Amino acid sequence: MGILEKIKDIEAEMSRTQKNKATEHHLGMLKAKLAKLRQQLLEPPKSSGKAGDGFEVLKSGDARVALIGFPSVGKSTILTKLTETESLAAAYEFTTLTCIPGVIQYHGARIQLLDTPGIIEGASQGRGRGRQVISVARTADLILMMLDANKGEIQKRLLEEELEAIGIRLNSQPPNIYFKAKTAGGVNFTATQALTKTTEKLVKSILHEYKIFNCDLVIRCDPTVDEVIDAIEGRRSYIRCLYVYNKMDHMSMEDVDRLSRQPHSVVISCNMNLNLDFLLDKIWDYLNLVRVYTKLRGAPPDFNDALILRQGATMEDVCRYLHKELVSQHKYTIVWGLSAKHCPQRVGISHVLEDEDVIQIVKK
């Protein structure tokens, strides 16, 4: 029996098993077996066959955004609208057959936007080029899930299931679980709070399913069975996602208002250029980028050339960004902006910067 057949059998057994306290352990074990089989499906054995065409695009710019969606939902159109790259758009499905990159110039940042081929149901199991498309999404800092506004809820559910099956968790944080495999000593299990969604017995059974008999496991939250499996697997990607509902010009105002009030959602129309500026603002907010401007002593700051950093960046990150030897030569920095308690403020190398700060670095 192949991997796909085993996956279907386990999914069928899970669907016909009632969820209650008596079946909790059995369902947990089925989820662990399912996760193992899906991981084997994603990493097939290496073959010596002829290499195929390249699909991955070299990462460039300050951040990467991937467009994911079913065929004919407007991915190529929005790439053309937001960037200077022309992506073929037509009235038939599967117009885009490879990954096409573009660059969004926004607030001085260069954001790489990837137009991927439309995926179909069963993409996580290798149908079409779905596995390659979803693998590209793993490398992105933000996923734009393009949805047809008229059938968005169905498409959203199917796409979330495909991404979930391949190990991508949308708009969620990794569970506060510490896991480390060892060579001896048995299983050291520690839970700092009461577990209501799983049990110690079930967690140890899952570890045995993965053939892990020696490890340290510290749980500092109240996780579900899926979150425990994610911590053991350790190959999950936690990525922010924006649900972009296209073709709002075909909807009533009541439906537009309903969709726009849903969390992480933006309603647009590519053909009529409606709400694209708000979409750019949301992309910027979700990427958590910070602009930092530099100035020389006695000179005004250069607002035309910003340093683009991640939120939470410190002066040490700025020094490494400018030159690797600047860290050892750094004496102090004068800061103007939101991160300063008073303007100007003299700070050290561990100072955390905020958006649109102005800095003047003084060397030893």
- Over residues 86-139, the pLDDT tens digits come to 765 544 455 556 788 889 999 889 999 988 877 766 655 556 566 677 778 888
- Encode pLDDT of 245-264 as tens digits: 998 888 888 988 998 899 99
Mean pLDDT across 52-56:
54
Which carries the bigger pLDDT value, residue 189 or residue 117?
189
Asked whether residue 282 is assigned to any structural domain, the reply reads: yes
pLDDT at 48: 44
- Amino acid 338: pLDDT: 92
Work out the average pLDDT over 200-227.
90
Domain residues for 134?
Answer: 63-169+237-287
Q: What is residue 219's predicted lDDT score, i.e. its pLDDT? A: 93
Within-domain flag for 101: yes
344 with 276, same domain: the answer is no
- Supply the pLDDT for residue 138: 84
30-44 pLDDT, tens per residue?
888 888 777 776 665
Statement to judge: residues 133 and 263 lie in one domain: yes
pLDDT digits (tens, 9 = 90+) for 236-248: 889 999 999 998 8
Q: Is the pLDDT of residue 321 over 50?
A: yes
Summary mean pLDDT of the chain: 84
Last residue of a domain, one of 217, 233, 249: 233
pTM: 0.80
Does 321 or 47 have the greater pLDDT score? 321
117 and 144 fall within a common domain: yes
Instruction: Answer whether residue 292 shows pLDDT above 80.
Output: yes
Q: Span 327-338, mean pLDDT? A: 92
pLDDT of residue 52: 47
pLDDT band at 26 (very low <50, low <70, confident <90, very high): confident
Q: What is the 3-state secondary structure (H, E, C) of the chain?
A: CCHHHHHHHHHHHHHCCCCCCCCHHHHHHHHHHHHHHHHHHHCCCCCCCCCCCCCCCCCCCCEEEEEEECCCCCHHHHHHHHCCCCCCCCCCCCCCCCCEEEEEEECCEEEEEEECCCCCCCHHHCCCCHHHHHHHHHCCCEEEEEEEHHHHHHHHHHHHHHHHHCCEEECCCCCCEEEEECCCCCEEEEECCCCCCCCHHHHHHHHHHCCCCCEEEEECCCCCHHHHHHHHHCCCEEEEEEEEEECHHHCCHHHHHHHHCCCCEEECECCCCECHHHHHHHHHHHHCEEEEEECCCCCCCCCCCCEEEECCCEHHHHHHHHCCCHHHHEEEEEEECCCCCCCCEEECCCCECCCCEEEEEEEC
Does some domain include residue 359?
yes
Give domain status of residue 306, yes or no.
yes
Q: What's the total number of domains in the chain?
A: 3
Residues 152 and 73 in one domain: yes
- Given this model, what pLDDT does residue 121 score? 64
